Each structure stands twice: as structure tokens, then as C-alpha cells.
Amino acid sequence: MQSKLINGHPFIAYSHETFAPAAMAQRTLDFYQWLDRRRTVREFSDRPVPKEVMDNLIQAASTAPSGAHKQPWTFCVVSDPGLKKQIRIEAEKEEFESYHGRMSDAWKKDIEKLQTDWQKPFLEIAPYLIVVFKKAYDVDGNGMRHNNYYVTESVGLACGFLLAAIHHAGLVALTHTPSPMNFLSTILQRPENERPFLLIPTGYPLKETFVPDLKRKNLGEIAVYY
Ligand code: IYR
């Protein structure tokens, strides 16, 4: 592999496949249509998923770009039934409060089409809960703090990659945000510099599963060309 130093910093040659316009048009259409089939699913099978698959999914997520390449994320992959039960109990406590007061009427009306409620059985049924933490800062071996940058953007990007990887695996996921979710730091004993970001149950869908009949915005509603 070709390499060189730029101002003392190592760089490597980047080789990248390119496509003719017609091939690119077909590829982008295929990719869009394939991504368009991804749906958030709330009904999981308890069918096991190999750990090797989870390892690959997490590594795919961690290829996302991040501020100063700090990779400010930790993916906690929970399969232990005791931990899943604790997470369900605490999530349902928070969700009960949310659905019975914390959420505005307008908010509840907005999500009525999803037919969700405070009960979250999938937190025990899905074979894996991926709990994504964002690292507000890093701590080195000497206890020194180091800055991270654009942490929310970076971890959001990694979660996007993760959801695409899960779809590519033929599995399904739910982007779940019990609020507040500090209980995840306690149950999983995460250090002070890590903050819970997203809880992603992952697995196979139930054989017979239904999802809300949602429509995506069309191009004219989401894109402005100048
Ligand atoms: N966190 C709750 C409520 C909820 C909120 C939004 I915004 C959604 O898109 C879906 C659900 C829950 O998980 O049920």
C-alpha cells in the first residue's frame, strides 16, 4: 500500500471504485429502494442471533465518521435475561409516567398512528438490546480528560450506519428512547463520561408482524436544488 508523510503525519493512498453515470443511476435507485424497505418493528421473535453477527454489526456502525476521528461511542450489547428484565422494568416505569402525564396531548396525538403504549415486552423478547452510549469526553489511563467533538452528530451517524447494517443482515430494530434514560447508566454500570443515547432492540421480527402504513415524504418535500 502506498503511503507518505504530510507534515509528519502518515497518509495512505485511497483507492475507490467509481461508476459510469448510468450504472450509478441504477445502483443509487437499487440502494434507495432497498433502504426504503426498512421499517421500525416492535414485534420481535426470541429466535437467537449469532454473537458473530452482532460483532460485525457493531464494527459496521463504528466505521461512521466522527469529530476528529474520536469515535465517541460505546455499544453495550445486552443478551443477559436478568439485565434485560431490569431494563424493561425501569423503562416501563419511565414510560408509564410519560404516557400518563409527561407527554403533551399533541405529542400523544402525533404518535397515535404508531399504536404504542407504556408497555415494552420487546425489551425482554428481542435476543439483543444494543444500548448506545455517547462519550461526552474521553478519560485516559492516567485519569486525564480529553475532549470529544460533535459527539451527538457522530453518535447519530454511527446509529444510522448500525440501522442500515441491521437491515442488511435481514434483521429488524427499534429505535427506542425511554425518557429519561439515566437508568441505563446505572444498570450497565457505565462510567461518568458516557451518556445513554439510544436503546436498539435487535433481532428477527415475529413471523406475522404488522407495521403502521406510513408514507415517506416525496422528493419535492425534502430536497431543494439550487
Ligand atoms: N418513548 C415512547 C413514546 C414515543 C415517542 C415517539 I417521538 C415515538 O416516535 C414513538 C414513541 C415510546 O417508546 O413508547
In a domain? residue 214: no
Which range of residues forms the domain containing residue 159? 42-206
Mean pLDDT over each residue of the chain, to the nearest integer = 97
Q: Which three three-digit cell numbers place residue 197? A: 443515547
pLDDT, position 1: 80
pLDDT digits (tens, 9 = 90+) for 22-59: 999 999 999 999 999 999 999 999 999 999 999 999 99
In a domain? residue 182: yes
Q: Indicate which atom in ligand 1 lies nearest the CA of residue 178.
A: 1
How confident is the model over 89-96, as a mean pLDDT?
Answer: 97
CA of 60 to the centre of ligand 1 (A): 26
pLDDT, position 163: 99
Q: What does pTM read for this prediction?
A: 0.97
In a domain? residue 226: no
Task: Determine whether the shortest distance from the Cβ of 111 to ligand 1 is under 6 A.
Answer: yes
In a domain? residue 29: no
In a domain? residue 61: yes
Half-sphere exposure of 170 (CA within 13 A, CB side): 3
In a domain? residue 8: no
Best of 113, 116, 123 to mutate for ligand 1, by most ligand atoms within 8 A of CB?
116
Contact 212, 115 (CB under 8 A): yes
pLDDT at 9 over 90: yes
How confident is the model over 90-111, as a mean pLDDT?
Answer: 96
157/152 Cα distance (integer angstroms): 9
Domain count, the chain: 1
CA of 117 to the centre of ligand 1 (A): 8
Query: CATH number, domain at 132?
Result: 3.40.109.10
pLDDT, position 136: 97
In a domain? residue 16: no
pLDDT digits (tens, 9 = 90+) for 134-154: 999 999 999 999 999 999 999
In a domain? residue 97: yes
pLDDT digits (tens, 9 = 90+) for 168-189: 999 999 999 998 999 999 999 9
170/9 Cα distance (integer angstroms): 40
Which residue's C-alpha comes closest to atom 10 of ligand 1? Answer: 111
pLDDT digits (tens, 9 = 90+) for 157-167: 999 999 999 99
